[in-house]
Structure 1
Amino acid sequence: MISMSDAFFSVDAVRGANLRPVSFTLRPGEILMVQGESGVGKSQLLRALADLDAHEGKVVLNGVEQQQMPPSQWRRRVVYLPAESAWWDDYVDQHFTENLPETWWAALRLKPELFRAEVARLSSGERQRLAVARALVLKPKVLLLDEPTANLDAVTAKAVGELLSEQIKAQGSAGVWVTHDASEAARFADKQLYLDAEGGHIT
């Protein structure tokens, strides 16, 4: 078992209003799949790790505690992808500094022409997949994913999941990925965390 002090990303007894204590460690390239019933705090856990919600406990990245780093710097390193992504400009390419690799368009099952499309004309599934790409191009140290494949058809969900897993490992990031799909959890997990009313249980 890797110790908290030696971990790339460590979470020690993090808890909040609707979240019982959660602890885990991750190495670069590892993915923790998080499951649990509605209301046990899965999204709250991600928001706490992103320093978006008040919480107790300790979160450490590469030896630096969350509270020792300005929130804006922390969130550039620990990127949160919510279930409903935000789009603040009119066109897709205004949200990126460069185009996506050609292989990503294929993996996301999207047409490259969408890069210059109006956000308002995108389907919800297209916005969802482009939000995944937007998070990945930031090359975060930790990627926090709140059901990134929910509401996608099975084939597309598998393709998006494979791209996420591939890039997390290739970039040497760590991933914390909430899902309600047990088969998805089994497919991509290096570790699994189950949340319930008592807290988090690593398997």
Structure 2
Amino acid sequence: MRTDVLPAGEARGVATTSPPVVGLRHVDVRYGAVRALHDVSLTVAAGERVALIGANGSGKSTLLRVMHGLVTTSGGAVTRSASARQAMLFQRPHMMRMSVHTNVALGLWLGGMGWSDAKARAHAALARTGMQELATRNARTLSGGQQQRLALARAWALQPDVLLLDEPTASLDPTAKRDVEALVAEFAARDGMTLVFSSHNLGQVKRLASRVIYLEQGRLVADLPVHEFFNGPLPEEARLFVKGELI
């Protein structure tokens, strides 16, 4: 399984026989005069674990939001599998001023699930993420790591096929980072979720990803299997970033 390192705007996804769950073709995104994404083309297949890396402002968060339908493109096309459910986890998730359990159940109920079923699913989600002992706590009083685990419980409760994560451990202490990372890995391994996540933690990328996409000023510069990205030749910008020398 191999893909070449290609010039920006021509990058392709890693070859796979799995069906695609999301695809972008020549996508541009502008925020006023700022071009956040420039001619980005890629495909994510079911079961992949895709890491988005690059300096701040490279377009990682915008790309995730485009994949999830939260940002309107200025050009190009985005396709999503009609049968693949998606959920997205943000770096600083919003917590409602209510119990941990209700934070999970309410979202399900608002999505059309009956209240009894929503409460049961919420209970299962908290058990799945090790949060059941905190079920009656006000979610606003949780630590940062606990809030991120609660956000993962809310995502898991939706039973998504695709989980998008924007710097999910960036502001957490080492213990909380390990807990969140372990849950994300389990979601991929045991629940079969497709992962697309942004991260500045290259160790985390090596542990979680099967594929790495490097972005530079909104352009897709490299798209490689994780082993080849960290052990093979790279474009100069990506090589400097990995070495920690990118200005």
For Structure 1 versus Structure 2, the TM-score category normalised by the shorter chain is: 0.7 to 0.9
Letter in 1 for 2:215: L
Q: Which moved more, 1:147-156 or 1:136-145?
A: 147-156
Instruction: Give the counterpart letter for 2:60 in structure 1.
Output: K
Do the aligned partners of residues 128 and 198 (structure 1) sit closer, same or farther apart at CA in structure 2, a change above 3 Å counting?
A: closer
How far off its partner does 1:89 sit? 4.4
Q: Does 1:104 align with 2:124?
A: no
The equivalent residue for 1:43 is 61
State the match for 1:30 in structure 2: 48
Cα deviation, 1:15-65, whole Å, max 9, x if unaligned, reads 312122322223322110111111111111111111111113333233x4x
Paired residue for 2:200, among 180, 185, 196?
180
Q: In 2 relative to 1, CA 103–134 (structure 1 residues): closer, same or farther, beyond 3 Å?
A: closer
- Does the aligned pair in 2 maintain the 1:29–1:171 contact within 8 Å? no
8 Å contact from structure 2 (residues 145, 177) kept in 1: no
The structure with more radius of gyration: 2
Deviation at 1:187, TM superposition (A): 0.9
SS at match of 1:8: strand
Q: Paired residue for 2:223? A: 202
Equivalent position amino acid for 1:14 in 2:
V
What one-letter code is carried by the residue in structure 1 that aligns with 2:23?
Answer: S
Match status 1:57 vs 2:69: no
Q: Is the 8 A contact 1:29 1:169 kept in 2?
A: no
Equivalences, count: 186
Shift in CA distance, 101/133, structure 1 to aligned 2, threshold 3 Å: closer
In structure 1, what is the equivalent of residue 24 of structure 2?
A: 11
Distance in structure 2 (CA, Å) of the matches to 1:58 and 1:193: 19
Offset of residue 142 of structure 1: 1.4
Inter-CA distance 39–146: structure 2 relative to 1 (3 Å threshold): same
Give the stretch that moved more between structures: 10-19 or 29-38: 10-19
Q: Could you tell me how far apart the structure 2 residues matched to 1:192 and 1:88 are?
A: 34
SS in 1 for 2:129: helix
1:185 CA displacement: 0.6
Contact 2:95 2:140 in 1 (8 A): no
1:164 to 173, 180, 184: 184
Could you tell me which residue of structure 2 aligns to residue 83 of structure 1?
91
Kindly provide the CA deviation profile for residues 63-101 of structure 1, in whole angstroms up to 9, marking residues without a partner as x.
x4xxxxxxxxx9x92212111211234211112232136
- Could you tell me which amino acid in structure 1 is paired with residue 223 of structure 2? I
Instruction: Give the Å deviation of 1:3.
Output: 8.2
Contact 2:93-2:151 within 8 A present in 1 as well:
yes
Mapped partners of 1:45, 1:91: distance in 2:
32
2:38 alignment partner in structure 1: 20
How far is the alpha carbon of 1:154 from its aligned partner? 2.3
Matched ranges for 1:145-156 at <5 A: 145-156=165-176
**1:190 is matched with which residue: 210, 217, 229?**
210
Counterpart Cα distance in 1 of 2:194 and 2:155: 13
Letter in 1 for 2:158: L
**Which amino acid is the alignment partner of residue 166 of structure 1?**
E
Residues 22 and 165 from structure 1, CA distance in 2 versus in 1: closer, same or farther, beyond 3 angstroms?
A: farther
What is the TM-score of this pair, normalised by structure 1? Answer: 0.80
State the identity %. 30
| Unpaired runs of at least 5, structure 1 | 65-73
Given that residues 26 and 76 in structure 2 are in contact (C-alpha distance below 8 angstroms), is that contact kept between their aligned partners in structure 1?
Answer: yes
Q: In the superposition, relative to structure 1, how do residues 52 and 116 fare at CA in structure 2: closer, same or farther (>3 Å)?
A: same
Equivalents in 1 of 2:16, 2:41: separation in Å? 12
